[in-house]
Every structure is written in C-alpha cells, then in structure tokens.
Amino acid sequence: MLISRFLCIDLKKMIMTSKQIIFASRPKGMPVKDNFVFEEYELPQINEGELLLQSMFISVDPYMRGRMNEAKSYVPPFELGKPFMGGLVAKVIESRSANFKAGDVVTGMLPWREKMIVPEKHVQKIDTSIAPPSYYLGILGMPGLTAYFGLIHIGKPKAGETLVVSGAAGAVGVVVGQIGKIMGCRVVGIAGSDEKTSLLKSKFGFDEAINYKTATDLKGAIKAACPNGVDIYFDNVGGEISDAVIRNINFHGRIPLCGQIALYNTTELPVGPRVQPWLLTRSILMQGFIVGNFQSHFPEGIVQLAAWVKEGKLSFIETIEKGFEKLPDALIGLFHGENMGKMVVEV
Ligand SMILES: NC(=O)c1ccc[n+]([C@@H]2O[C@H](COP(=O)([O-])OP(=O)(O)OC[C@H]3O[C@@H](n4cnc5c(N)ncnc54)[C@H](OP(=O)(O)O)[C@@H]3O)[C@@H](O)[C@H]2O)c1
C-alpha cells in the first residue's frame, strides 16, 4: 500500500520530454541544415481544455521559405529561437476536452515537435475513413484547396480550353491538372524531370508534359504542346518558365498567380522580360491569390475534393520521408525538386 502510493506520487512527478526543432538562423539564399537546431524540451502539465498529441505526419511547404526571411508578408516571419511550425497531422494521446478522445486524429498549424500539449481550439478532427491521414496535408488540405480555388475562381476553366500548369508534378500542380481535365480542358504540365513528365501523362491524365530542364526552346515547346495557344496559365513557379508561357497566351487568357518558387531563394531583385505588354495587348487577367482568401469557402472545397477522390476522378501522390530528423532536409529538398506530389515527413 505504502509502496503503491509512493509510486503514484512518483509517476505524477514524471517529466515527459520530446524532441523539437528550433529556427536558429535566417538563410541567405538557399536554406541549409544549420538554419535548424534539434533539442529536447520538457512538456508542461496538461490542463483542462488541452490535448497531448503525438505527431504522425509533418508538412514541408515552399511558403515556409518566405517566413524564414525577416521581411513582413501576408504571414509574419518565423521568430528566431522558437520552434519551426507548419501543417501537422497528429494522434491524440490524452484528452482533457469533452470534444476529443484518445486515438482521434487531428490536424492544425503546430510546432515541429514529436509530442506536444495544445489547446483544443488549435486543431480539427479529421476523418481517416475518407483518405489516409497524410492526405489532409495535401489533396484534402492546403495544397488541394489552393489548386481548387485558384483554378475554379480565377482560372475559370471552360471545356475545350488549354490549361498550362507549372510546378505540375508538385502537391498543387498535380491537383490543378486533374481538375482541368475534369473541367474538359486540354492540360499541359511543366516539370523538372523525365520521370515527372511521364508520370503526369501516365498516372494523372495530362495531355502533354514538358521537362523545362532539358527543353532547349521552352517557348517553342509550349507552342508545340498547345496548338490553340494557352487560355489559362496556373503559375506555380514564376521566372523564366512563366516568361515562356506568357508569350504563348491567348486573347482574354487568365493567369492565377499562385507561387514563384523559382525566385524564393534569389538574393538580388530578378530582372526579366516585362510581361505587361502581353497582358495589355491580349486583355489578360493575372491575379495573385493566397488560399486563405477563400477561407469562408473551405468546407465547400473539401467536400468537392473528397467527392472527386472517392469517385476516383482525382488521384494523388506523396513523397514520404521517414523520421522527425528528416524535416530540414525534406524542406530544402523542395527547392531541388526532390518530391513527386506532396512532400511530408512521417514521424
Ligand atoms: N498562393 C497560395 O496560397 C499557395 C498555396 C500553396 C502553394 N503555393 C505555391 O505554389 C507552388 C507549389 O507549391 P507546392 O506545395 O505544390 O510545392 P511542390 O510543387 O510540391 O514542390 C516544389 C516544386 O517546385 C519545383 N521547383 C523548385 N525550384 C524550382 C525552380 N527554381 N524553378 C522551377 N521549379 C522549381 C520542384 O519541381 P521540379 O522538379 O518540377 O522543378 C519542386 O518539386 C509554390 O510556389 C508555393 O509557394 C501557393
């Protein structure tokens, strides 16, 4: 009796620790592993309204590069000395909330930690009967919603039109192209390897795909792949690829301006061809957007994407790196084209 009471007290005092990744320094140009530091931290006591989580999948995304800069943007910069953070899927280990129970799977914008205690309002439950948990970081998460709203609301695709998508083999790009096919468009993808371009055609139904790294005349290759010109250009990358696409754009074309990854690691202001003459003379609509602009429509977007996944009209692909310690490499890998589809780390 005495011993068991003693044991209880001792267990209560037991300190739980976990690994976390701290944002240690701001990169100049391409991020490097030294921008991150791994450390152990002590988890606090769990309080009413809180959950103890075990990370399952952690997302790495190109937008994180922008938050590593000091400059103000649509989201504040990451703070030095604090845990890095982003989209995460986790299992509830212990719940002090009536709304969650141990075993639930949740998602949220959370710190890069193996285990953590978070207020319940920081996470939402996910339905793992619809799709694997990691899909909520990809096709049923932020990248899928970006593809859906950018293409439908800004690209406004119509059957018979030609859609070109850059970064086509990435998390956003593969979804954009497939939605374009559902809408009846001719779809041409641009990506950085032969393996990626052949998969775009064989698995994702793209009509044509161009390897921008081996094309000697990219503008000419786009012209050949789009005999009727380009009606919609979904721009994920910017830079010289976009310069080449925009020269092929048709009268009244639309350009959802989604990402500029070709420029995220540049240290000097890039100077390229001025695109305004094409926009002006061809009456083009080019509109930048952040997926959060469509937040009030997210439920509708998720229902539609989940329905297409269930009906087999949308497929997805992931590059899954295994191990918490792979996170910095996985993020850096995005800027070297190391992923097919969504890059995630399985913890
Ligand atoms: N507006 C929004 O709200 C929003 C939301 C999500 C994402 N985005 C943007 O959308 C784009 C795609 O995001 P994602 O999550 O789907 O990433 P992703 O395409 O899955 O991964 C990045 C890919 O970009 C390509 N890339 C890397 N460096 C490049 C360069 N210098 N030039 C051309 N391509 C390069 C690589 O593929 P290759 O092998 O083909 O080069 C790489 O695999 C990014 O620009 C991102 O910032 C915007």
**Residue pLDDT, tens place only, 52-71:** 999 999 999 999 999 999 98
Enumerate the H helices of 36-170 as residue ranges. Answer: 63-67, 142-149
CA distances from 331 to 7, 55, 230, 342 (A): 44, 17, 32, 11
3-state secondary structure of 249: strand
- Atom of ligand 1 lying closest to residue 341 CA: 20
Residue whose Cα lies nearest atom 22 of ligand 1: it is 334
Triad 335, 180, 139: Cα angle to 5°: 55
* 7-46 per-position pLDDT tens digit: 444 455 578 999 999 999 999 999 999 999 999 999 999 9
* 8-state DSSP, 261: G
Q: Which residues pair with 319 in a beta bridge?
A: 343
Quote the pLDDT of residue 13: 53
**How are beta strands 285-288 and 249-257 bridged, if at all?**
parallel
CA of 170 to the centre of ligand 1 (A): 6
Quote the pLDDT of residue 160: 98
CA of 37 to the centre of ligand 1 (A): 25
Q: Is the pLDDT of residue 72 over 70?
A: yes
Position 2 confidence tier, pLDDT thresholds 50, 70, 90: very low
Strand positions, DSSP E, the chain:
17-23, 36-42, 50-59, 85-95, 105-111, 115-119, 124-125, 162-166, 186-191, 208-211, 230-234, 249-257, 285-288, 318-322, 342-346
* 95-125 per-position pLDDT tens digit: 999 999 999 999 999 999 999 999 999 999 9
Q: Which two tokens stand for residue 337?
A: 């084209």
User: Could you tell me which residue, 71 or 306, shows the higher pLDDT?
Assistant: 306
- Atom of ligand 1 lying closest to residue 193 CA: 39
CA of 171 to the centre of ligand 1 (A): 8
Residue whose Cα lies nearest atom 12 of ligand 1: it is 236
Residue 63, burial from CB neighbour count under 10 angstroms (0-12, 13-18, 19+): middle
Contact 172, 147 (CB under 8 A): yes
Quote the pLDDT of residue 183: 98
For 83, residues 6+ apart whose C-beta sits below 8 A from its C-beta are 20, 21, 22, 23, 111, 112, 113
Q: Is the pLDDT of residue 291 over 70?
A: yes
In angstroms and rounded to an integer, the radius of gyration of the C-alpha atoms of the chain is 22
Quote the pLDDT of residue 269: 87
